[in-house]
Amino acid sequence: MDQHYRGSSPLALSGFVSTNNFQSTKPEISDSVSTNNAPSVITFTVDDASRILGNPMKQLWLFSTNHSLELISTFEEAAKAFRDKLVFVYEETDGTDFGLGADLAFQFGLPEGSPRVVARMANGDTYLYHGEMTFDGIKTFAEEFLEDNLSVQISKSALRLPSDSH
């Protein structure tokens, strides 16, 4: 597989910014994340939407309420094990059908309910995790995702970026 990633979307990972026709290698992106001490889990916001969704690295998303502190901690622990290999993203849901979290969950094709862990490839393919919400379970899912061993795809569609009010 070609280790170079090309695109025209901005890529920003804690200080590493490249815009318009960037060409970066996976090791360069990983080095930037490590050097700039990026958080192990990025909390999704409207302001960061294009940078997260335009990122060429594979992503693991957690959709959960902020009341699931133990699960969020478990997700952060798993993120540390894959620091330079996957981008871990947290999206807070409030348990309603309204708001950014509910809209993204719908666009990801997620069944109702929380929490959910989803693997997302740069091409838009998404895969839902069906196992236990434990460190070992999430770690195994992430390993299978990295090895391209996930087979039950839930959707393949371009996510609409939330409108930016700026």
| Domain covering 39-156 in this structure, CATH number | 3.40.30.10
What pLDDT was estimated at residue 160? Answer: 54
How many Å apart are CA 9 and CA 69, to the nearest integer? 33
Q: What does the alpha-carbon distance between residue 90 and residue 104 come to, in Å, rounded to a whole number?
A: 11
pLDDT of amino acid 155:
60
Quick one: tokens of 49? 């939407």
Split the chain (166 residues) into runs of 10 and give each run's mean pLDDT: 32 32 49 59 89 91 86 95 94 75 82 83 88 96 94 63 46
Residue 48's pLDDT is what? Answer: 87
The pLDDT of residue 88 is 96
Please state, in angstroms and as integers, the Cα–Cα distance from residue 94 to each residue in 71, 115, 128, following that order: 15, 11, 19
